[in-house]
Amino acid sequence: MVILGEANLDVVVRGGDVVPRFGQEEQLVDAVDILLGGSGGITAAAAAMLSLRTTLVGIVGDDPAGRRVVEELEQKGVDCQHVGIEQTLDTGCSAILTTSTDRAILTHLGTIAALETRHVNPTWLEGVDHVHVSSYFLQSGLHAGLGELLDEVRRSGSTISLDSNWDPTGTFDSGIAGLYDRLDILLVNESEADRLARAGGGTGGSAARCASELAQLIPLVVVKRGSLGALAEGRAGAVECPGRPAGVVDSIGAGDNFDAGFLAAWLRGFDVSSSLSVGCATGSASTEAPGGTSRQLSWREALAQAGLHGGGGERAGRYGDRRQADGKPPRGPR
């Protein structure tokens, strides 16, 4: 799998009164962690932990933050040979103020918006089973030419997914509707689903209604619902997966870990219902430690927590028949 995405550092402020008060008042909090972040970086790290051969295509700055990002991704098993170094921009960074139920995010874009399609050599995508686009709205540099690049990806036989993430402009436009007919899967949370459905002329509202409206345009729409689990709607109908109990530290990166879990199962040939279960398992587990990369499951752990144990839900074809003799998944697909 190739991820066209951003990777940066997250400065996570947890506990106590994390709502800042201006006027030079000093407040005490429980913890501050500096962790690998960015939707693309978190998803890539999780996918590699789930035994997918994962390559990240992105941009970091020529600074200590950028070097740390690449080092931590490589330690997770992510191929970073196509992560470029930008000399004139800082590596992006997000300051996240988080409680157990909500969070506020302040992001310095830096290199997050620097990736453009001209940086992506089409040969890097040859022979790849799947391409995932993360943080579409933050990666504004990718917007021009992305449709044409995804056309090439489709012609090569690869499947494509996209996670929009939140649009800081509030418009939820920026040409995203023009990509719908190139996608196999759209992954969004409830708020994003509502805004995208309304931007597309729908009524929005409940997660199920938004998924139904968006599924008129995209083969498979997956809506992440936090502690309520997830649902999906596609040509085979609607499927829901309940949430999983967790000792929540914070929810940072839970959706990105969900993406990796869902895709790891779907690419191996599991049906949508089982893929949702794996996604809920990986997303839930990530909430049990700070940030998005402190608690990421292996493929075997994800299957066990999803109650699949390497069996039910896997369909013939695709990657379901490529297990090794000992029952372990291969180091793939790409």
CATH of the domain at 247: 3.40.1190.20
In a domain, 167, yes or no: yes
- At 310 the pLDDT is 56
Q: Which domain holds residue 267?
A: 2-6+38-91+112-305
Backbone angles phi, psi at 39, to 5 degrees: -60, -45
Write out the H or E segment, with its range, that includes residue 162. strand 159-163
Number of domains in the chain: 1
Dihedral of CA 193/274/37/163: which sign?
negative
In a domain, 208, yes or no: yes
In a domain, 23, yes or no: no
Q: Is 234 exposed, middle or buried (0-12, 13-18, 19+ CB in 10 A)?
A: middle
Q: How far is CA 42 from CA 47, 235, 292, in A?
A: 9, 29, 6
In a domain, 293, yes or no: yes
Paired with 103 in beta bridges are 98
What are the average pLDDT values for consecutive 10-residue runs of the chain, which has 334 residues?
97 88 90 96 98 98 98 98 97 90 90 97 94 98 97 96 96 96 98 97 96 97 97 94 90 96 98 98 96 97 90 41 31 49
In a domain, 249, yes or no: yes
Backbone angles phi, psi at 319, to 5 degrees: -120, 5
In a domain, 316, yes or no: no
Side-chain half-sphere CA neighbours of 52 within 13 A: 31
- At 317 the pLDDT is 33
In a domain, 33, yes or no: no
In a domain, 328, yes or no: no
